[in-house]
């Protein structure tokens, strides 16, 4: 049995703990919610429980499809055992439908299906507000090693293809999502989480938002939206 030890790091949505195995960490999912680079803060009741369950289910699905992730197993309602990663400071966003900052930047309405997935990179820095960057920046500032971005780009597009199919089967449109990667024993692995915090998810029929945009935009019904995603993804009620 893995023994939980000291806290390594506390972020906006999770606490990371060391274990008695230097290769493994425990992710604890919090109910805290933030938006606009933590300028807006709040609590989404049971978000930690829901996000841990959703992320565990999706990581297992991706692992079964041959995508290597940091996921080891779900330990409890709020805790996930994962491989310890040296995080690559590049956030990867894949967009399938116009929404959020893409709509603002391009001057287009939300909800337009894109003719092909749009891949974006952001420098992982809370202090700087996670600015958008390109592969020239990544190379010039040595944010990733030679060949790693090729792997990250390929895996991101594969994840998108698999997740679109996964969510379509559950009556959900995958609008866009953010993922992160890290190094573990020389291998680049998909890390962090895949949840309504990090994905835009719309009901495939009504187009109702089922993600953190409900919190960002004060739309109400945040807890109900997260619960609906949990029920569809995990195949359980309540």
Give pLDDT, residue 1: 80
Asked if residue 156 is part of any domain, the answer here is yes
Give pLDDT, residue 10: 95
Give pLDDT, residue 36: 87
Question: What string of pLDDT tens digits covers the 238 residues of the chain?
Answer: 889 999 999 999 999 999 999 999 999 999 999 998 778 999 999 999 999 999 999 999 999 999 999 999 999 999 999 999 999 999 999 999 999 999 999 999 999 999 999 999 999 999 999 999 999 999 999 999 999 999 999 999 999 999 999 999 999 999 999 999 999 999 999 999 999 999 999 999 999 999 999 999 999 999 999 999 999 999 988 6
By residue range, what is the domain housing residue 120?
86-221
Alpha helices for the chain (secondary structure H): 47-64, 100-106, 135-140, 148-168, 213-216, 222-234
Do 208 and 104 lie in a common domain?
A: yes
Q: Are 209 and 32 in contact (CB under 8 A)?
A: no
CA pseudo-torsion sign 40, 102, 174, 207 = positive
Do 113 and 143 lie in a common domain?
A: yes
Do 63 and 147 lie in a common domain?
A: no
Q: Are 180 and 70 in contact (CB under 8 A)?
A: no
Q: Is 204 helix (H, G, I), strand (E, B) or coil?
A: coil
Do 177 and 141 lie in a common domain?
A: yes
Give pLDDT, residue 15: 98
Number of domains in the chain: 2
CATH number where 70 lies: 3.30.200.20
Give pLDDT, residue 38: 77
Give pLDDT, residue 39: 83
Do 98 and 189 lie in a common domain?
A: yes
Q: Are 78 and 62 in contact (CB under 8 A)?
A: no
Asked if residue 228 is part of any domain, the answer here is no
58 Cβ contact list (under 8 Å, min separation 6) = 163, 166, 194, 233
Give pLDDT, residue 238: 67
Do 115 and 55 lie in a common domain?
A: no
Give pLDDT, residue 37: 79
Do 112 and 29 lie in a common domain?
A: no
């Amino acid at each position: 049995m893995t023994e939980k030890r000291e806290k390594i790091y506390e972020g906006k949505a999770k606490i990371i703990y060391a274990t008695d195995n230097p290769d493994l960490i425990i992710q604890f999912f919090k109910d805290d919610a933030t938006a606009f680079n933590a300028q807006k803060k709040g609590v989404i009741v049971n978000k930690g429980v829901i996000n841990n369950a959703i992320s565990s289910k999706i990581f297992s699905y991706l692992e079964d499809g041959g995508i290597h992730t940091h996921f080891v197993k779900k330990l409890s309602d709020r805790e996930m055992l994962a491989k310890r990663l040296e995080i690559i400071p590049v956030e990867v966003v894949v967009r399938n439908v116009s929404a959020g900052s893409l709509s603002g930047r391009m001057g287009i309405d939300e909800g337009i299906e894109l003719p092909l997935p749009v891949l974006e990179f952001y420098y992982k820095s809370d202090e700087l507000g996670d600015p958008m960057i390109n592969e020239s920046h990544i190379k010039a500032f040595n944010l990733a090693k030679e060949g790693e971005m090729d792997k990250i780009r390929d895996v991101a597009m594969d994840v998108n293809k698999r997740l679109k199919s996964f969510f379509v089967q559950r009556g959900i449109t995958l609008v866009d999502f953010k993922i992160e990667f890290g190094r573990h024993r020389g291998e680049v692995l998909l890390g962090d989480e895949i949840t309504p915090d990090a994905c835009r998810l719309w009901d495939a029929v009504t187009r109702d938002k089922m993600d953190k945009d409900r919190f960002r935009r004060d739309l109400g019904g945040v807890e109900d939206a997260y619960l609906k995603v949990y029920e569809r993804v995990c195949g359980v009620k309540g």
